[in-house]
Structure 1
Amino acid sequence: MTEALLDIAEVAGRSGLAPSALRFYEKKGLIAPAGRNGLRRTYRPDVLDRLALISCARSAGFTVAEIGRFLVATPGDTDLRARMADKARELEEDIARLTRMRDGLRHAAGCAHETLVECPDFKRAFAAPAQPVPR
């Protein structure tokens, strides 16, 4: 049994991406159409998984070129893997910062201090974490 192909409008709707973004990703080699139905590009359903991965990588700050390399990476791609490890560390820092902000805002919502900015808990939540000493 053959899987039903999706036209570009359906892929756009399901992925939340504009058709122009799909054409851009195609031009950059990140996705490939399965063919055409009249004038419309068609894609296999698994393109949605690939687009989800691309969107996640874009949200993490990877460039289109890096994503292209990522999609064909092998265990020997040490430079790319180092970049991924660096990005993972950056995301950990972002998560820690956002967690402090969330906790500070939750505290502020019920804080009884006369001025919020004088509350030690609020200050602590928004203080920059101690930076490691360079070696």
Structure 2
Amino acid sequence: MKLLDISEVASASGLSVPTLRYYEDQGLISSAGRHGLRRQYLPGVLMQLTLINMGKSAGFSLTEIAAMFNKDGLPALPRDELHRRADQLERQMQELAVLIRALRHVADCTAPSHLECPSFQRLMRASDRVQKRRATKNGDRKAPV
């Protein structure tokens, strides 16, 4: 099996060589050996790096991502945690949709004052409900100011 040089892995993954070294130091990936001073990797490392990138995009920390791999580098994905994260992302998308509507309305509204606009008032109330729900979920006694 052909090993990939660290520069080949960097090129194929779009990650920098220092990032690959850091991931190795953190136990996210492992090299198969060295050719001189250059680290060599099995081709499967590219799949691992794709999964790491997906995990980061989903908001998982590198520590959480590292725990999602077996010692042999194969994924051991915690399905319950993935469902929780997907639910969290879905809620975040809904919150962002409210914010997008508010921003577009502010940008396009012809009212002399946005505070007098009924549509903008509804969007502000919706945003306030989201903030209060988030504060309650996080254990805050009152909504953030």
TM-score, normalising length from structure 1?
0.71
1:29-57 superposed Cα distances (whole Å, 9 cap, x missing partner): 22122332321112234322221211221
Q: Which residues of structure 2 form unaligned runs of 5+? A: 71-75, 138-145
* Match among 44, 55, 75 for residue 46 of structure 1: 44
Query: Which residues of 2 match residues 108-123 of structure 1 at below 5 A?
Result: 108-123=106-121
Indicate how the Cα distance of structure 1 residues 116 and 62 shifts in structure 2: closer, same or farther if over 3 A, else same.
Answer: same
1:65-111 superposed Cα distances (whole Å, 9 cap, x missing partner): 3212222327xxxxx44333322222111111112222222333322
* Paired letter, 1:128: D
Q: Which residues of structure 1 form unaligned runs of 5+? A: 75-79
User: C-alpha distance in 2, partners of 1:40/1:7?
Assistant: 7
User: C-alpha distance in 1, partners of 2:36/2:20?
Assistant: 18
User: C-alpha distance in 1, partners of 2:118/2:23?
Assistant: 49
**Who is 2:61 aligned against?**
63
Indicate how the Cα distance of structure 1 residues 90 and 36 shifts in structure 2: closer, same or farther if over 3 A, else same.
Answer: same
* Paired letter, 1:31: I
Does the residue aligned with 1:71 lie in a helix, a strand or coil? Answer: coil
**Who is 1:83 aligned against?**
81
Q: What CA RMSD, in Å, does the superposition of the two structures yield over aligned residues?
A: 2.9
Identity rate, percent: 42
**Who is 2:21 aligned against?**
23
User: C-alpha distance in 2, partners of 1:63/1:120?
Assistant: 41
* Paired letter, 1:88: A
